[in-house]
Structure 1
Amino acid sequence: MLGEFKAFISRGNVLDLAVGVIIGAAFGKIVSSLTDDVLMPVIGWVTGGIDFSNRFIVLGTVPADYTGSLGDYAALKKAGVAMLGYGSFITAIINFVIMAFVIFLIVRQANKVLVKPAEPAAPAGPSEVDLLTEIRDALKKG
């Protein structure tokens, strides 16, 4: 059983998958930072100071013992208030679009690099007319 496990782990595609998952997780953090720390503040600035991280709709009641701000999404969430956090959802959609676009670019470039060279064209033989002419001549002779 240990030998089978060693053979399974040492196969190239398993190692490639592990490397891909690790790099993908790190890349996801980079894209999240790009979205949260660069793009969303710019989008907020362009839209007149809208902070998407604090865009939400309160669905439930706020507990009577809650002392924080009613505009603090993280504090309300920690207090257990039911909310619809559409700002976080918009940020997640932007993250997804950026990730999907970058993956598209990587796959597109990989397809260009890994494209197989075209097979050489078959040597040109006699045309159909030439073949029919040969058959006719052979029948006449024979």
Structure 2
Amino acid sequence: MLKEFREFAMKGNVVDLAVGVIIGAAFGAIVNSLVGDVIMPIIGAITGGLDFSNYFIPLSKAVSATNLADAKKQGAVLAYGSFLTLTLNFLIVAFVLFMIIRGMNQLKRKQEAAPAAPPKPTAEVELLTEIRDLLKKA
């Protein structure tokens, strides 16, 4: 069973998938930072200093806090600001993936449309061509 698992794990597709997951996690961290540290503060500044991460609706009367972290400790809240931030994360990731796939498809179409180079003549063909050319000169 161990040998079979090792063969499965070392197949190209599994290794490619593992690399993709690791790169995806790193890319997710970059997107989270981009949204949380760059885009949302700009949107907050445009909208008058609003902080989307603290937008919530209390679902119980016991919640009296003004920030999301304290409100979650006090009771149930509907954290729609966090949802907006995560939705923006998703849209950025989806757009970047769309652009990558679009670029790959364009490269594939260019390669398919490019005319194939004529095959290089074999040594026999080159020799016969030389003989023909010499016979024409004679």
Q: How high is the TM-score relative to the length of structure 2?
A: 0.76
1:91 aligns with 2:85: yes
- 1:42-84 superposed Cα distances (whole Å, 9 cap, x missing partner): 0010011111011111111227xxxxx72011111123x1111
- 2:44 matched residue in structure 1: 44
Q: Which amino acid aligns with 2:22?
A: I
Q: What is the CA deviation profile of residues 76-126 of structure 1, one whole-angstrom value per residue up to 9, with x for unaligned ones?
A: 1123x1111111111011000000000111111122233452497xxxxxx
CA distance in 2, matches of 1:71, 1:113: 52
Separation in 2 of the partners of 1:113 and 1:14? 25
2:98 is equivalent to residue 101 of structure 1: no
1:12-54 Cα deviation digits (max 9, x unpaired): 0100000001110110111011101110000010011111011
Q: Tell me the TM-score normalized by structure 1.
A: 0.74
State the identity %: 56
Partner residue, 1:13: 13
Q: Find the counterpart in structure 2 of residue 57 from structure 1.
A: 57
Distance in 1, matches of 2:72 and 2:100, equals 37
Q: Which sections of structure 2, spanning at least 5 residues, go unmatched?
A: 116-138
Unaligned runs of 5+ in 1: 64-68, 121-142
Looking at structure 2, the residues matched to 13 and 92 of structure 1 have their Cα atoms a distance apart, in angstroms, of 30
- Tell me how far apart the structure 2 counterparts of residues 36 and 56 of structure 1 sit (CA, whole Å): 17
Partner of 1:25: 25
The answer to whether the 8 Å contact 1:40/1:52 transfers is yes
Which protein has the larger Cα radius of gyration, Structure 1 or Structure 2? 1
* Count of aligned pairs: 114
Give the match for residue 73 of structure 1.
68
Distance 1:103 1:50 in 2: 30
Is the partner of 1:77 in helix, strand or coil? helix
CA RMSD, Structure 1 to Structure 2 (Å): 1.8
Specify whether residues 3 and 78 from structure 1 end up closer, same or farther in structure 2 by C-alpha distance, changes over 3 A only: same
Distance 2:7 2:77 in 1: 49
